[in-house]
Amino acid sequence: MKQILSKEMGAACIVAGTAIGAGMLGLPMVVGGLGITMGIGLLILLWILASFSALLLLEINLKVAPGENFNNMAKKVLGTGGQFVATGSMVFLLYALLVAYLTGTGDLISRMAGGVGMEVTQQSGTVYFAIIGMLIIYLGTNIVVRVNQLLFYAMLVAMGVALFSLTPHVQVGNLFVGGPDSTLIVMSLPVLFTSFGFQTCIPSIVRYLGVGTKRLRPVVLVGSTLPLLCYIFWLIVSLGCTSAADLGSMHGSVKLLVSALAGGSSFLGSVLSSFAALALLTSFLGVALALFDLIAEVFRLGNSHAQRFLNVVIVLGPPLIAGLLAPGKFIQALSHAGAALAILAIFLPCAMAWKIRRNGLRANSYQVCGGTAALVLASVFGVIIVTANYF
């Protein structure tokens, strides 16, 4: 019994760990002008949407082929066209995230270098980080997994210290500045949804725990709730420690966010810089490794030194060029990633679930509540998230 609970907790941590990362840094910047009540309300709404889409993927995975990866599920249910859309959306999502992480880290490196009397531009910081990232990814999956695991634990510690250190500086009045604004609400949705982007790990969870739905459903819900609680606390301290006007004028700059929250304190500046750097780095390594494996599968690249080098260039070359041509686009890149995630985690699962239910495929009796109405409602939210970039 104890071993079962340990595996379930480990699986829930995989779900939470997949969601928590650099996207967290964008939350106060996109909801700062809305106030804490609206901000938390939107977080809960997107958590419900993300949890529903994850449970929908769980239903599909159990009915089609337990543990089957996303691309194969899409092909089996929707055909080659569905697989093409799934692969294309995944590639776009991962590239958009890499652009966000590279530009955000370059911005942060520029701030950290300035703190020790060195002058480093954001573009230079982006290049330095990309070179280090290329080296780590080139060394292989085992190295990436070990490094990322250690960095993730360090990030959780840094996040805890940052939240604890900021709490005494929260000014309650700051939390209720701002209010509902339809444009700001719509524009915030892709970034908020990206912050709950854990759906693609569902097949891995099924393989890890087996097909018992009584075990799988709570794991998904607990794993998705942990990021929600972290995000709510983070919004409270970040919005409470700075003004809505300052947050709105940052234009997606991680450096300005850290400086504003630190408020001139070198200790807080160091803690927040460490947390931001670790959040960006852990997210970067996980996404880069996923894209590395996907590119190797699509182009059938082997494990020779030359092919690994080519793969690394394909993975990090395009986002590096995009980051250099469009510096300071951290929030915009996260927003585009949210649009791709909506296609991958809302539209495709809704289409697959509708087709499976219509055809009466009942290989497994588990079905998410809500019926066709819930599929339509989720799809409507997906349309809003995808089109939000045009507001």
The label of the residue with tokens 């089609």 reads: 64
**Cβ pair 38, 179 in contact under 8 A:** yes
DSSP state, residue 177:
S
The label of the residue with tokens 């709404």 reads: 45
Q: Chain-centre distance of CA 183, in angstroms?
A: 22
Range 284-306 average pLDDT: 84
Q: Does the pLDDT of residue 390 top 80, yes or no? A: no
pLDDT tier, 361 (very low <50, low <70, confident <90, very high otherwise): low
pLDDT at 211: 61
- Write out the DSSP string of 194-261: HTT--GGGHHHHHHHH-S-HHHHHHHHHHHHHHHHHHHHHHHHHHHHTS-HHHHHTSTT-HHHHHHHH
Number of alpha helices (DSSP H) and beta strands (DSSP E) in the chain: 17, 0
Rounded to the nearest integer, the mean pLDDT of the chain is 86
pLDDT tier, 113 (very low <50, low <70, confident <90, very high otherwise): confident
Q: Does the pLDDT of residue 364 top 60, yes or no? A: no
- The domain 2-390 having CATH identifier 1.20.1740.10: the answer here is yes
* Confidence (pTM): 0.89
Q: Chain-centre distance of CA 11, in angstroms?
A: 17
Question: By three-state DSSP, how is residue 299 classified?
Answer: coil
* Spatial distance between the Cα atoms of 34 and 262, rounded to a whole number of angstroms: 22
Neighbouring CB atoms inside 10 A of 318's CB total 13
* Spatial distance between the Cα atoms of 39 and 35, rounded to a whole number of angstroms: 6
Range 357-374 average pLDDT: 78
For 296-364, strand residue ranges (E) read none
DSSP state, residue 263:
T
Range 260-275 average pLDDT: 86
Q: Considering only CA atoms, which of 45, 74, 102, 33 is closest in space to residue 287?
A: 102
pLDDT at 319: 94
The label of the residue with tokens 């249910």 reads: 77
**Cβ pair 200, 61 in contact under 8 A:** no
Residue extents of the structural domains in the chain: 2-390
Q: Considering only CA atoms, which of 213, 208, 199, 206 is closest in space to residue 364?
A: 213
* Percentage of residues in the chain having pLDDT higher than 90: 32
**Cβ pair 43, 244 in contact under 8 A:** no
Residue type, 153: Y
Task: Count the residues in the chain.
Answer: 391
- Distance, first Cα to last Cα, the chain: 52
Range 102-119 average pLDDT: 84
pLDDT tier, 246 (very low <50, low <70, confident <90, very high otherwise): confident
Residues 26-70: tens digit of each pLDDT: 999 998 888 899 999 999 999 999 999 999 999 898 888 888 888
Q: Considering only CA atoms, which of 329, 50, 42 is closest in space to residue 178?
A: 42
- DSSP H/E element including 295: helix 266-298
pLDDT at 85: 92
pLDDT tier, 17 (very low <50, low <70, confident <90, very high otherwise): confident
Phi-psi region of 344 (alpha: psi -120 to 50; beta: other; left: phi over 0): alpha
**Cβ pair 372, 106 in contact under 8 A:** no
pLDDT at 120: 84
Range 148-174 average pLDDT: 87
Phi-psi region of 277 (alpha: psi -120 to 50; beta: other; left: phi over 0): alpha
3-state helix, strand, coil split of the chain in percent (to 5) is 85, 0, 15
Range 319-348 average pLDDT: 90
Q: Considering only CA atoms, which of 204, 162, 253, 223 is closest in space to residue 20?
A: 223
* Percentage of residues in the chain having pLDDT higher than 70: 95
pLDDT tier, 23 (very low <50, low <70, confident <90, very high otherwise): confident
pLDDT tier, 245 (very low <50, low <70, confident <90, very high otherwise): confident
Q: Does the pLDDT of residue 219 top 90, yes or no? A: no
pLDDT at 192: 94
Range 171-198 average pLDDT: 87
**Cβ pair 332, 252 in contact under 8 A:** yes
**Cβ pair 23, 191 in contact under 8 A:** yes
pLDDT at 3: 52
